[in-house]
Amino acid sequence: MWWNYVVDRWAQIWFGSWQHFSLVVQSLILATVVALLIAFIVYNSPKLSSVANGVSAIGLTIPSFALIGILIVPFGFGVIPSVIVVTFFATLPILRNAVVGLQGIDAAVVESARGIGMGRLRTLLTIEFPLAWPIILTGVRISAQMVMGVAAVTAYALGPGLGGFIFSGLSRLGGANAIDSVWVGVLGVVILALILDLLLVGLGRLTISRGIRVRN
């Protein structure tokens, strides 16, 4: 039975879940940093922001399975291609939301900050970024849900996480415990996605001021 399969392999499942969660969270943090740096550079330029949005849209059409297969050639099997793929796909929604959020700030607010002597960088970090943060965080949440599944695909390159249970089960369809293995991987990914989303909701509560939450 499925429950017996889980109990017998609980240590392996727990370790795989931790690896999976760690891969997604670390890649998500890296993707957020990359996306914000790019957004800060391009959002004031209609041409550059249009290019960034276009790249985001096109990037999402690339099959993750194909990309991980391509990256095996230069980077081999293991963690490196997994991190690259997960970070790549995580960056795209965050970048789009960051550009939209920064461009959506009332120009009068920015001009007022500049009028009282605030420099460009200080205005960006203390006025524009906090106002755009709710939209950016929405992009982070979307990315987190999306790449939780992408991380499972990286098991094709022997990446860490729960994808190994899915691929192992699919390769043994018709054999003993094959379906149980697939279900462990699938349900584990779903549960981890829900946990991470709850953590990001909590992050929003801590980092978004009440006034901005009401405004949005």
Instruction: Give a yes or no: residue 1 inside a domain.
Output: no
Q: Which residue's structure tokens are 């490196």?
A: 80
Instruction: Give a yes or no: residue 71 inside a domain.
Output: yes
Instruction: Give a yes or no: residue 94 inside a domain.
Output: yes
Q: Rounded CA gap, 128 and 105, in Å?
A: 7
Q: Which residue's structure tokens are 């699919």?
A: 170
Instruction: Show the domain range for 171.
Output: 16-215
For residue 162, give the nearest of 8, 65, 19 by alpha carbon: 19
Instruction: Give a yes or no: residue 4 inside a domain.
Output: no
Instruction: Give a yes or no: residue 143 inside a domain.
Output: yes
How many distinct structural domains can be found in the chain? 1
Instruction: Give a yes or no: residue 70 inside a domain.
Output: yes
Residue 100 structure tokens? 């939209």
Is the distance from CB of 187 to CB of 198 less than 8 angstroms?
Answer: no
For residue 84, give the nearest of 73, 96, 68 by alpha carbon: 68
Say which CATH number the domain at 168 has.
1.10.3720.10
> What are 58-109's pLDDT values in tens digits?
998 999 989 998 998 898 888 999 999 999 999 999 999 999 999 998 888 8
Phi then psi for 139, rounded to 5 degrees? -65, -40
Single pTM value for the model: 0.91
State the helix-helix crossing angle for 163-171 and 129-153, rounded to 10 degrees: 30
> What are 14-56's pLDDT values in tens digits?
999 999 999 999 999 999 999 999 999 999 898 999 999 999 9
Instruction: Give a yes or no: residue 5 inside a domain.
Output: no
Q: Rounded CA gap, 14 and 40, in Å?
A: 39
Instruction: Give a yes or no: residue 8 inside a domain.
Output: no
